Amino acid sequence: MRVAPARYGTLFASHHVDIRAPHAVEACAARLQDTGLVTVDGLLSRKEVLAVAERLMRIVPHPHSGSDGLTAIYDTGTHAHRIGFAGLGHGELEAHTERAGVPHPPRLMLLVCLHPADEGGEVLLADGHDVLASLCAEGRDAAIVLSKPRTAYFGAGAGHPSQVFTVHVDGRVSVRLRQDGLARWSPIIHPYLPFVRRAITGCQRRLRLEPGQGYLLDNHRWLHARAGFSGDRLCLRALGDPLFPMQEGFTPDSIGISLPKTNDVV
């Protein structure tokens, strides 16, 4: 997996919120609405991760989560070769948004590292705002086609028809994507998949999480991926919907982009 060598060292610091400070929730809400990304630290136990998640979101259970709604992300040794289970192996994980195959994906994702990999395992984050801008810089065709309704089907038999970019009636944009064997595409999309993959790669920023460090992101805006790793890497993930108002999607750089309205729920 190629990653653009840009600004890796400043990503954590520039989005950091002291989650224990007064008004931390308000600070997280403001940053999420502005950039869609918050970084946190000092969360060294499952109890601490859960406490922070419960302050920020209504936790949505995942098929692999525990009774508290948190999912342990580690190499189980048995899931890696099953379609849709790459996150529970030790290999590369392609850029995606969480739960793309359900009608209403959770808005927020919190991921915290409890034990880093011996080698590798860096997080690769790409802002959908920047991905869309990169596509439009090459010409509007790819962005327009990737915004056409029902040109993708994410998930297995009970998946969901959608599109990569959902354009809301106010012109704001949301992102939904998976790139594994549970993604199926309309024939009109296939010629443009290399464009979106190249755009994502060019926008990715690398983040190596140390024990207790993590990030909170807008799952309708940011795409996340993972480098392959060795060792006993362990992270905890919470998915949910915010306990504070969040405007849907992001505003594209240029009002001249004028992508077709999807009029669809992300």
Cα–Cα distances in angstroms (integers) from residue 251 to residues 1, 128, 170, 243, in the given order: 29, 11, 9, 22
- The answer as to CATH 3.60.130.10 being correct for domain 8-257 is yes
pTM of the model: 0.91
Nearest to 19 by CA among 203, 153, 212: 212
Tokens, residue 122: 């860096």
Distance CA 39, CA 213 (A): 8
Split at pLDDT 50, 70, 90, the class of 140 is confident
Strands 108-115 and 214-218, how do they pair? antiparallel
What tens digit of pLDDT does each residue of 53-100 get?
999 999 999 888 889 999 999 987 765 566 656 676 788 999 999 999
Q: What is the mean pLDDT of residues 25-30?
A: 97
Nearest to 124 by CA among 200, 38, 196: 200
With DSSP H G I counted as helix, E B as strand and the rest as coil, what are the percentages for the chain, rounded to 5? 25, 25, 50
**Burial annotation 11-25 (CB, 10 A radius, 16+ → b, else e):** bbeebbbebeeeebb
Mean pLDDT of the chain, nearest integer: 89
How far is C-alpha 228 from the geometric centre of its chain's CA atoms?
A: 17
